[in-house]
Amino acid sequence: MPIGALISIVPSLLLTAGAVAAAILFLALRRENIEMRRRIAVLERTSANAVGPLADRLREMEDRLRVVEARPSQPGLTTRTGLNLNSRAQALRMLRRGTPAETVAATLHLARPEVELLVRVQQLEQAAESITSEIPG
């Protein structure tokens, strides 16, 4: 084959080789695309299986929260972290006036057991004072 004939065939051969390479790349990308879609479908099914129970649990918690929020406020249920000197003095004044422990707790936003404990401590102090005053000394 003369060189002139080869030179005239080279562009056609290169074009054919490029077309074959493009077809091979296209098919490889198509196969990879199909594989990625399959993986995504598996991940979506897996995540849907994981999200379902979590969504149910979230709905249950929301329902419970609505029930708690719908309850009427009850005195004495909202508490602070305990008695400080000011609230202790106010509680003692109210108790000396004859205010019930439940009302003192609700008014000062204290736990009822704290106020009842304060009443008992005051009773013990009064009993101790009366005993010491009776002892001749």
Residue with tokens 């202790």: 88
- Summarised one tens digit per residue, pLDDT across range 11-61 is 999 999 999 999 999 999 999 999 999 999 999 888 888 888 888 889 999
The reply to whether the predicted model has a pTM over 0.85 is no
Question: What pLDDT is attached to residue 74?
Answer: 62
- The shares of helix, strand and coil residues in the chain, as percent rounded to the nearest 5, are 80, 0, 20
**Residue 79's pLDDT is what?**
47
**Do 102 and 76 form a contact (C-beta atoms < 8 A)?**
yes
Tokens 């001749």 sit on residue: 136
**What are the sequence ranges of the domains in the chain?**
1-71, 85-134
Integer Rg of the chain from CA: 43
| pLDDT for the residue numbered 80 | 52
